[in-house]
Structure 1
Amino acid sequence: MAQKADELVRAAEALYIHGPDYQGADRKGGDVIVPGGMFTYQMVVRSERVYIVQITCLGF
């Protein structure tokens, strides 16, 4: 899961290179499926943050 989260942060950095100057609406979050579960994230572009808001572990 950590690798997928790192990829998400790198993609956000590349897409929103000047985050504090961004004037549009924040991008909607999404779900990322990983082996054994998934996580839900939310981006706050102007604050240059990616928040993991939920982790779901299937446990099998």
Structure 2
Amino acid sequence: MTWSWEYIPDEETVAAGAPSGFLAEVEKAADELVRAAEALHLHGAAYEEADEGAKHAFVAGGFFVYMTTPRLELVSIWQITADPEP
């Protein structure tokens, strides 16, 4: 397997109505989370401990909720919240 990230259940549901610049920041941060998880969990598919649970990541324009699942070599993004526009 190869580490990746995805929106759960899908991008249309999670990212609906979010500004494109904010989504670009979310996706850039997700790429960084994948690189970090890959380095931390060298044998992700063989991981036997409990997952770390949901976490928040703050980016320019808001934040998102994600979870790292080493056995699936996956960072899943469940919710994004953009700051209200002035």
Q: What is the TM-score normalised by the length of structure 2? A: 0.65
1:14 and 2:39 matched: yes
Greater fraction strand: 1
RCO higher in structure (CA 8 A, sep ≥6): 2
Aligned to 2:30: 5
Letter in 2 for 1:56: T
1:59 and 2:80 matched: no
> How many angstroms apart in 2 are the aligned matches of 1:36 and 1:3?
13
Aligned to 2:50: 25
List structure 1 segments (4+ residues) > 4 angstroms apart after TM superposition: none
Greater fraction helix: 2
> How many angstroms apart in 1 are the aligned matches of 2:84 and 2:61?
6
Runs of at least 5 residues in structure 1 that lack an aligned partner in the other structure: none
CA positional deviation for 1:29: 2.3
Render the CA deviation track for 1:7-27: whole Å, top value 9, x for unaligned. Answer: 111000000111111111111
Letter in 2 for 1:47: L
